Amino acid sequence: MTKSNLSETSVLTRVSALLVCEGPTDERLAPHLRTLLVQHGADEAVVQCPEFRRLRSPPGHDVAAKVRVGLELFPETTLLFVHRDADGRSGAARRAEITEALADCVRQWVAVIPIQALEAWLLCSADAIVAACGRSGGSGSLSMPRDVEGLADPKATLRALVDAAQAGVARRRRRTFEEVRNYLLEQLDPDDLRSVPSWCALAEEIAATLRAGDLRRPASQDRSGRGRMAKDGPSRR
């Protein structure tokens, strides 16, 4: 088989993704998104997270502005991930906001929308919470929620579980809620999330996007990725 024939019959799927998060600590989602990309058909994948806080003029919380600046920082992007917590029982409103914000974006995108809040995804394993608190046992004493997406305030539930897991531990030896949350997000196990609808929907959307193909960088810049960095530039601090 000639080299040209080989290239025609064996096409690698290389994905250069950009993750636009709701908050800086949520950047820990990136490796899990890369894993999902590879699991669902990408041969090679990288997921970048812009450090907006290091810019002289950060884009703020506006999704369209974040995407525009992110694409200027990473023009090689072929796929966008946009994370927004649902802050409710349905992700429909957040998806509509993302769709509107990306109306002028010619790149393909996937919405990352945990129902209620990202902390819901961290409530699926008592063992993980205990381990994140630096304990070696006691997970059986935690009262874990059965329906993590039915909670009105997953963050408050997680905070209560972290306090319970560290009951009896000297205050100076306790881990802060932020430390435990960050550890849980870094060590997130997809197997624990197989029954969580919003996680399953994310995985299915990634799979469908990869099946659709055409994850190439546009030949010309779209209006969601033009002009901002040329004016502001990254901070030198």
List all residues 6 or more positions away from 181 whose beta carbon is below 8 Å from its beta carbon.
25, 119, 122, 158
| DSSP for residue 107 | S
At residue 149, the 3 state secondary structure works out as helix
**Which candidate, 69, 120, 101, 80, places its Cα nearest to that of 226?**
69
Q: Which fold has domain 13-117+194-232?
A: Rossmann fold (3.40.50)
| pLDDT of the residue at 178 | 97
List all residues 6 or more positions away from 191 whose beta carbon is below 8 Å from its beta carbon.
none
Domain parsing of the chain, residue ranges? 13-117+194-232, 119-186
Task: Provide the residue-wise pLDDT of the chain in tens; the chain has 237 residues.
Answer: 443 343 333 456 899 999 999 988 999 999 999 999 999 999 999 999 998 988 888 888 899 999 999 999 999 999 999 999 999 989 999 999 999 999 998 889 999 999 999 999 999 999 999 999 998 776 668 999 999 999 999 999 999 999 999 988 888 899 999 999 999 999 999 999 999 999 999 999 999 999 988 776 655 545 444 433 333 343 333
Cα 17 to Cα 64: distance, rounded to the nearest angstrom: 16
Total-model pTM: 0.84
| Angle made by CA atoms 213, 214, 215, in degrees to the nearest 5 | 95
Query: Do 66 and 78 meet the contact criterion of CB atoms below 8 Å apart?
Result: no
**Which candidate, 137, 224, 126, 99, places its Cα nearest to that of 180?**
126
| pLDDT of the residue at 58 | 87
| pLDDT of the residue at 136 | 76
Query: Do 94 and 84 meet the contact criterion of CB atoms below 8 Å apart?
Result: yes
Q: At 66, which helix (H) or strand (E)?
A: helix 63-73
DSSP, residue by residue, 151-212: -S-HHHHHHHHHHHHTTTS-GGGPPPHHHHHHHHHHT--GGGGTT-HHHHHHHHHHHHHHHH
At residue 109, the 3 state secondary structure works out as strand
| pLDDT of the residue at 84 | 97
At residue 80, the 3 state secondary structure works out as strand
* Phi, psi (degrees; rounded to nearest 5) at 210: -70, -40
